[in-house]
Structure 1
């Protein structure tokens, strides 16, 4: 067994046991999966970043959460950030989306909007060309 350890580690035993036809079929499947992913990526433009500009993000309304002013209850929203799933606490910096009125932690939403141009909750567009 000791004599076979190096061949096990470098794959030599595997290559000897597996016939060329099986290996060729495996390689074809792997290549097909990679091609399919590339095609889907092209169809849905998943490789393109659709985030908002920093200027657009900075123009969105900001506020500070205070439990006594019930910002969340006034807007009929959950008491937690839908991005990080943490509860809002007194003193948390928040940002409100203008079209849908959803609130999120400022830092969470800024990171989200840098790569996505829609609300994390309802997927409504955040900024139109002439908005904010």
Structure 2
């Protein structure tokens, strides 16, 4: 017999599968690429939720949205940040990074990856 927690996970997996199939069909893309994109989105959203509640390293940062057409590149993964993308800005220096990138960084180091501000 499944408990409520496991049932919830199975339900979420089913939703994720339907979302991947729908997006792949709409964009005429392969399932594997679309699945990776959805997994990235899910991980990013989870990082946002967890960073607010359990990760004290995020006390010196805030969530912001990229508003310019060219948001620049994430200083950690070097991928371009796009308009509308939610990122984290460090309070001390204002440098912006993708959630998933900076969350991994602050677990190892407490300074900015670009300017080393604490």
Coarse TM-score class (shorter-chain normalised): 0.3 to 0.5
Q: Between Structure 1 and Structure 2, which shows a larger proportion of strand residues?
A: 2
TM-score (normalised: structure 2): 0.48
- Which structure is higher in RCO with an 8 Å CA cutoff and minimum separation 6? 1
TM-score (normalised: structure 1): 0.43
Structure showing greater Rg: 1
Q: Between Structure 1 and Structure 2, which shows a larger proportion of helix residues?
A: 2
